[in-house]
Amino acid sequence: MYVSRGARRVSRTGASAVVLGAALLIAGCSSSGDGDKSKESEGADAGAGITQQPKATDPFWVNPDGNAAKQVAALEKAGKKQDAEQIRKIAEQPAAEWIVPENSEEQARGYTEAAAKADRDALLVVYNIPHRDCGQFSGGGAADGNAYRSFIDGLAKGIGDRPATVILEPDAVLHMVDNCTPEEFHEERYDLLKGAVEKLKSLKNTKVYLDAGNAGWGKPDDISQPLQRAGVDRADGFSVNVSNFYSTDDSIAYGKELSAKVGNKPFVIDTSRNGNGPYEEGNPDERWCNPPGRALGEPPTTKTADPLVDAYVWVKRPGESDGECKGGPKAGEWWPEYALKLAQGSDT
């Protein structure tokens, strides 16, 4: 009835260790905020030559000091111009910032201030639910319900009235449906998710998308009611394909079928690494983890192929590891070689 663990995926945890310092540092850098400017002129004030994308098609903020941007600079310094241009495909697209448990208020403030100064929206991911990832590569999360509520309160205070789009808790609903998360934790988790949606939606300019699995997971019938219990009716919609590889067409089909069961809610699709679709070789239980031969997917944009799809977004940051498999570093750590292969794969 339920998907095998092979369709699960880890998101990142430890990779956010540098986000606070980077965000606060970048807060002083901006473009002038004219949404009609060209891509080139918008990037004039950005650090390391990293540009913002045109706001009309892509309202999300590009972090000019992210891991990909640092790799571009290092490759250019080493005279590896061709490789630098490949990694620039990642560095100049907006990717989500994953909020770590410590100092959620300061992180959120730093990111949203930097995005606002660039006249863009911050794209944030909340990934701190207690008993996260069933103790796998990205296991952890808040110590208990009260710690999680404090984390969300800090996040909301940090965002304030500035524009932000929040992807809420990858896998949190899915792992209750597939019984990966023990049933004894379900009631509290539903309450925490519903409370997080309500808290974040009380903010003036914040959109919230509750995570809803992926096209390879199972039937929308299985997750529609749990999504409703978790508060999707109060959210702006739901997210699909986070940190996964299913094609955009398959993700649209899955999302539309699910949408019809949850009040015709719109959704966003993570297209960060789905350019070649899912990996179909090797151990089925590990196909989701650092699969070879993958490619970048559609660039982030609000100009999508279906009116129910609010945006294609890069929730998983291309080049950051899924976990310690297939030679990868810890979940969320930057993996330069994998990043380069993803970028090169998008040429084929």
Q: Which residues are catalytic?
A: 133, 171, 322
| Spatial contact of 48 and 64, defined as CB atoms under 8 Å apart | yes
Phi, psi of 3 (to 5 degrees): -70, 150
3-state secondary structure of 138: coil
**Torsion angle, alpha carbons of 252, 255, 258, 260, to 10:** -60
> Measured over all CA atoms, what is the biggest interatomic distance in the chain, rounded to whole angstroms?
56
Q: Which of 167, 161, 149 is nearest to 202 (CA)?
A: 161
3-state secondary structure of 161: coil
Task: For the beta carbon of residue 12, count every other beta carbon within 10 angstroms.
Answer: 27
Q: Which two tokens stand for residue 136?
A: 């796998």
3-state secondary structure of 69: helix
Q: Which two tokens stand for residue 159?
A: 């965002």
Query: At a CB cut-off of 8 Å and minimum separation 6, what does 337 contact?
Result: none
Q: Which residues pair with 334 in a beta bridge?
A: 320
Q: Note the residue count of the chain.
A: 348
Alpha-carbon distance 122 to 124, whole Å?
6
Task: For the beta carbon of residue 348, count every other beta carbon within 10 angstroms.
Answer: 8
Phi, psi of 312 (to 5 degrees): -95, 130
Alpha helices in the chain (DSSP H): 19-26, 39-42, 67-77, 81-91, 104-117, 145-159, 174-177, 186-201, 220-229, 248-259, 336-345
Q: Which of 135, 122, 121, 207 is nearest to 171 (CA)?
A: 135
